[in-house]
Amino acid sequence: MSGAPGGSMQSRLRPGQPAPAGLTVLIVGPAGLAGVDTEARRIERLLVGHGHTVSVRLAARDTWEGGGVDPETTVGVDLVVVLGGDGSILRTARWMGYGQVPVLGVNLGTLGFLAACGPAEADAALAAIAAGRFRCVDHLMFECEVTRGGAVIHRELGLNETSLLAGPPFTMIEIALHVDGELATTYRADGLIVSTPVGSTAYNLSAGGPIVRKDLDAFVFTPLNPHTLTIRTVVDSASRSYELAVSRPNAGSACVVDGRVVTGLVAGDRVSIRRATPRFTLVETAQHGYYRTLREKLEWSGGLRGAGGRPSASPDAS
């Protein structure tokens, strides 16, 4: 989906229009990661030199959950530049909560599916944004609620996935899936991943789930090592409501959102997952298309030779 940033109308960035003078930009990233501070200061100087107002807020990874970046600091911000990898972008999305601001990711990590560019391409990406040569792509976010004894004990906003994991003593658990109040199936497995399209290239992909184009509105249900061979991944609409129930969890069973354990599970707990109102918005330039990102990050080659995608010559060609 392209157009005005969903859930971030406070931003003055508009695709196809040159960026107005005096943008307010927030640069965030994990302190201590090699190159983050240097790159943050370089981008800060570049943006200030073009007349924009810039704040830099770096926090150590182990303190991010403790308020390394205050979500209130995004009020009035037009663009957030995230330095790091996909984990940094996930944390930033969680910090912004229900007041999402368009994000440009600069990859200083490893894979970097969400980051639009590397440090060498950051200047060109910022120039493209200034000229209006960019698009804002909205992505599905979800709300996860854990209910115990009729009361909500935990509520979390997420971007990648909710996972119910069997945990120690590492015996399989049964997870009942209800869709719009109707029992769909009961998984007997080591766990279940409920992923967004953005998260389809994360834990879901590692577990053998499909890649789903990240701007679609859908949830992907991928069981972990199911005991029944006919159980396969299911993709369903994000317009529906989903509820998971574990009747006999293990002592170490847990609900995990975007890689963070949010709570252990006890018998009778119910986990609901639904589409959230805010949308996570990535700023993308022409430098990286969707399939180019997949091709480069996943090293898809096949019969391709080089970035041009020309088929390689036949072994019999002379």
Q: What is the pLDDT of residue 271?
A: 98
What is the DSSP-derived secondary structure letter of residue 170?
A: -
Q: How far apart are CA 5 and CA 311, in angstroms?
A: 38
Residue 245 · residue 273 · CB < 8 Å: no
Q: How far is CA 67 from CA 41, 62, 249, in A?
A: 22, 10, 32
pTM higher than 0.95 for the full model?
A: no
User: Class for domain 24-139+288-304, per CATH?
Assistant: alpha beta
* Helix residue ranges, H only, the chain: 36-49, 86-96, 119-131, 203-206, 290-297
Mean pLDDT of 152-172: 96
Q: pLDDT tens, 220-261?
A: 999 999 998 889 999 999 999 999 999 999 999 999 999 999
The residue ranges of every structural domain in the chain are: 24-139+288-304, 142-275
Quote the mean pLDDT of the chain: 86
24-139+288-304 shares its CATH topology with 142-275: no
Q: How far apart are CA 21 and CA 239, in angstroms?
A: 39
Q: Which residues have a catalytic role annotated?
A: 86
Lowest mean pLDDT of 2-6, 100-104, 144-148, 164-168, name the range.
2-6
- pLDDT over 90 (residue 53): yes
Pick the CATH number of 142-275 from 2.60.200.30, 3.30.70.1350, 3.40.50.10140, 3.40.50.2000: 2.60.200.30
